[in-house]
Amino acid sequence: MKVVILSGTSRKGNNTIRVAKAIDTLHKSLNHESTIVDFRSYDLPFFNGEPVDDANPTPFRENLLNAWAEADLVYILSPEYNWLISPELANMANHYSGGAHKALYDNKVFAFVGVSSGIGGRLPTMQLSSVFEKLIFYLGGQAVCSPNKFESHYTPAELDENGLFIKEGGYASRLQGFVEYSARLCNRFTGVA
């Protein structure tokens, strides 16, 4: 199984990358091929209706598009910014929502994670699911948005900068269960183990 984890914020010192690293480690323990796309190198211009040049992508865009296109399971992680998804993810969805990008929304499972330093994260997962369900339908893709969403509460108290669990217990078992569920759903939908 090929997994890509989109750590959807360019903010330096963000907590989202901690969760991305934890998910990456859990998938590698399941012998899955896992890649993180770190949005701290994000360089998509503000969407004004003009497409970006896919023929001459920057290193960030090339990594994003190649990893996403090859993935069977796509995690999209967003911090909760005032009850919204990150502006980087909204902008990305606008850029990569046309017919030329249909393959990004075909034969995949999408799983969503909302990240907070306190209590929060549910709203970005719901918004992302709604947007991606519409894109899959609009582009005629055959893909699934997982009904299981993960809310990462009090992230800096649960994960260190390397994505390692700080303490045993509820958070660790919830995240592991979420990853295992996502992998099973992907296996069932795509047939890839």
| d(C-alpha 111, C-alpha 92), whole Å | 16
Cα–Cα distances (Å) from 29 to 23, 33, 151, 180, 181, in that order, read: 10, 10, 22, 11, 15
Assigned token pair, 16? 């989202």
Assigned token pair, 50? 């003009």
Whole-model pTM: value is 0.97
pLDDT tens per residue, range 67-121: 999 999 999 999 998 889 999 999 999 999 999 999 999 999 999 999 999 999 9
Extract the runs of DSSP E, i.e. beta strands, from the chain. 2-7, 33-38, 73-79, 109-115, 144-145, 150-152
pLDDT tens per residue, range 21-37: 999 999 999 999 999 99
Phi, psi of 41 (to 5 degrees): -105, 15
